[in-house]
Amino acid sequence: MKYNNINFNKKTILITGGAGFIGSNLAFYFQKNYPESNIVIFDIFRNDETFSNGSLKSFGHYKNLLGFNGIVISGNINDKIALKSLEDNYKFDYIFHQAAISDTTVREQDIMIKTNVNAYENLLKVAINHGANMIYASSAATYGDSDRFEVGYEKPNNAYGFSKVMMDNITYKYIKQGVDISIVGLKYFNVYGKREFYKDKTASMIVQFAHQILKGLTPKLFEGSDKILRDFIYIDDIIQANILACNPIKSGIYNVGTGKARSFEDIVNILQGELGIDNSKEYIANPFIGQYQFFTEANIDTIKQNLGYKPKYNLEDGIKAYIPEIKRLFKVEIENVK
C-alpha cells in the first residue's frame, strides 16, 4: 500500500538503524513499492557487547534484511568520519533516522546522549547540506510521568526519554532558523509487529507473551495489569506515518499512536483467543515502579491535521495480522534452536 503521492523511484533514501525493527520495515516498504529507489542502510550491526544492564549495545540483525537488495553499510552513528563518508559519497533526498539506543533501562547516560542527541544533530547537518527531508524517531518515553500526552507536556523519567526531548529541542531550533528542508519527529508509542523479534528482551510484550503461550507456559503479567494501559501501535501504521512525514503540511513533532489506550490484560486475552490456547495467567510484582509508565494514550489530532495520518489497526486487528509471523518465528527461532 502506498501512503502518499510522492514518487520515490530514482530518489536516494538513507535509513539509519536500517537493520533494526522499524528501519528494516521502511527499507522493504520502499523496495516493494518503489523498486527503482536507491536505499542506503546504515547500521551498527550487533555483536556481543552489552551495557551494564546486560542489554546488547545494538539490535541490528542481518535476518531483518534477508531479501533486501539495496546498499548496506555497517557503521556507528557516532563516527563523524563515517557520517562524512555518507555525505561525500551520496546525495540523499530523504533521511529516516531510526538509529538510537532505545532501551529505556540503559544506565550509561554519556553514551545515550552522544548517540541519541549529538549524533542526531550531526546527521541533521548532513540532511540540510543535501537538501534532504529529515524524518526521525522520537518517543512517547518523552512524556514519562506526564498525565497529558501532547507535544509540549513532556516529563521524562529516564535518560532515554530525556535524550529524545533533547533531540526534539534541536529540531525546534533548526525549524526556527528557517532551514530549507522539512524536519519531522515522530513520537512512537508502543510499537509491535514483524521484524521486532531481534530486539530480544526489549521486543514488545505482544511477541513475548505469544511465545510464552506457544511454549505452553502461563503468561506472566504485572499485578494490576488490567489497569496498566498503553497505546499499542502496529508497525504498518508506523510506516504510514513515516511516509506521510516526507511531505508534511508543517515541520514539527508529532505523536504516532492509535489514540486508544489498551491494557496488557487485553493483549493476553486477544493472543490466547487468536492462538486458540488458554494457559490462564500468572501475576507478579512490578520491579520497575518509579521508571515505568502506567498509562499512555497519544493525542493524534495534530498528526491527523498536518500529515493526514489515520491509524488503520486497532489492537485486535494488529495482533491478528501479526499472528502468522509470530508462529513462523516460534517455529524457526525457538523450536528449531532448542
At residue 14, φ and ψ (nearest 5 deg) are: -100, 130
Q: Read off the pLDDT of residues 113-161 as tens digits, 9 standing for 90 and up.
A: 999 999 999 999 999 999 999 999 999 999 998 999 999 999 998 999 9
Q: Which three cell numbers stand for residue 118?
A: 549529538
**Residue 312 exposed, middle or buried by CB count within 10 Å (0-12, 13-18, 19+):** middle
Q: Read off the pLDDT of residues 4-18 as tens digits, 9 standing for 90 and up.
A: 999 999 999 999 999
- pLDDT tier, 335 (very low <50, low <70, confident <90, very high otherwise): confident
pLDDT reading at 338 higher than 60 = no
State the chain's mean pLDDT as an integer: 95
The rounded distance, in Å, linking the Cα atoms of 11 and 22 is: 20
Task: Report whether 164 contacts 116 (CB < 8 A).
Answer: yes
The rounded distance, in Å, linking the Cα atoms of 301 and 127 is: 28
Q: Which residues neighbour 119 within 8 Å (Cβ) at sequence distance 6 or greater?
A: 77, 78, 83, 99
Q: Would you kindly state where each structural domain of the chain is located, as residue ranges?
A: 12-337
Q: Which three cell numbers stand for residue 95?
A: 533521511
Provide the pLDDT for residue 337: 67
Q: Which residues of 195-224 are buried (b: 16+ CB within 10 A; e: fewer)?
A: bbbbbeebbbbbbbbbbbbbeeeebebbee
Which helix (DSSP H) or strand (DSSP E) does residue 109 occupy?
Answer: helix 109-113
Q: Which three cell numbers stand for residue 124?
A: 541533521
Q: Which residues neighbour 276 within 8 Å (Cβ) at sequence distance 6 or greater?
A: none
Q: Which CATH number fits domain 12-337: 3.40.50.970, 3.40.50.720, 2.30.33.40, 3.40.1280.10?
A: 3.40.50.720
At residue 188, φ and ψ (nearest 5 deg) are: -70, 135
User: One of 199, 234, 254, 309 is an active-site residue; which one?
Assistant: 199
pLDDT reading at 261 higher than 60 = yes
Task: Report whether 138 contacts 168 (CB < 8 A).
Answer: yes
Provide the pLDDT for residue 71: 98
Mean pLDDT of 242-255: 96
Q: Which residues of 255-264 are buried (b: 16+ CB within 10 A; e: fewer)?
A: bbbbbebbbb
The rounded distance, in Å, linking the Cα atoms of 244 and 256 is: 12
Task: Report whether 62 contacts 102 (CB < 8 A).
Answer: no
Task: Report whether 68 contacts 28 (CB < 8 A).
Answer: yes
The proportion of the chain whose per-residue pLDDT surpasses 70, expressed as a percent, equals 98
The interaxial angle of helices 119-130 and 159-177, nearest 10 deg, is 30
User: One of 160, 198, 254, 309 is an active-site residue; which one?
Assistant: 160
Task: Report whether 158 contacts 108 (CB < 8 A).
Answer: no
SS3 179: coil
> Which amino acid is it at 173?
K
* Weakest mean pLDDT among 6-10, 48-52, 193-197: 48-52
Provide the pLDDT for residue 291: 57
Q: Is 10 a catalytic residue?
A: no
pTM: 0.96
- pLDDT tier, 1 (very low <50, low <70, confident <90, very high otherwise): confident
Mean pLDDT of 280-301: 86
pLDDT reading at 336 higher than 80 = no
**DSSP code at position 181:** S
- Reading phi first (left if > 0) and then psi (alpha if -120 to 50, else beta), residue 302 is in alpha
pLDDT reading at 194 higher than 70 = yes
Task: Report whether 27 contacts 15 (CB < 8 A).
Answer: yes
